[in-house]
Amino acid sequence: MKKICFVLMLTVLCSISACSNAQPIPAKKILIVYLSRTNNTRAIANIIHEQVAGKLIALELEKPYPENYQAIVQQVVKENETGYLPPLKTKIDSIDQYDVVFVGFPTWGMKLPPPVKSFLKQYDLSGKTIVPFNTNAGYGIGSTFETVKELCPKSRVLDGFTTKGGIERDGIYFVMQGEREKQAREGIKEWLREIKIKK
């Protein structure tokens, strides 16, 4: 009798655990916001959108950055030093309706790009689940994910996704195609399974 009760209890607990882990998040409650200069982060955002649906929005500035690479590097360094947050042209209506916000960006100077800081500061993301994703030139995420956590103290920040993108400094721009795109797609699928967010 004790053995039967134990088996029944174990079955119930496993069922509850399976349900809580496998619950998909409704598509209408997901927002995917991204900043992309050479379209690599945009490609990752599109793959995530294919997997989880939701609303996909590109971050744009009121005054776009210069096209010249060295000029943008100098401007971003100055913005980081002064704490300047560039005004966003992008407006998001009714952000309260979203439960999960994916935030995508490249690594700029090993830091979070100022426009992404603008977004995280401008909108109240309290109580939401924040999911960072990143492309970089091979040097990694730097302090980007930590900065997201710092700017979202009242949010639940999940483990982020990162992959190597282009190297604009060396004239290597869009690379998310062919084998690289295939690898990124598989990595994203595995990551979404790990953080338990799926369509």
Contacts of 110 (CB under 8 A, 6+ apart): 139, 140, 142, 143, 144
150 phi/psi in degrees, rounded to 5: -65, -35
- Dihedral, CA of residue 16, residue 22, residue 23 and residue 24, to nearest 10: 180
Q: Could you read off the pLDDT of 89-147 as tens digits, one per residue?
A: 999 999 999 999 999 999 999 999 999 999 999 999 999 999 999 999 999 999 999 99
Higher pLDDT, 13 or 108: 108
Token pair for 34: 């991204």
pLDDT band at 9 (very low <50, low <70, confident <90, very high): very low
Say what the pTM is: 0.86
**Domains contained in the chain, CATH given:** 32-194 (3.40.50.360)
Strand partners, 108: 111
Q: Tell me the C-alpha to C-alpha distance, in Å, between residue 80 and each of 6, 113, 127, 152.
A: 59, 8, 27, 18
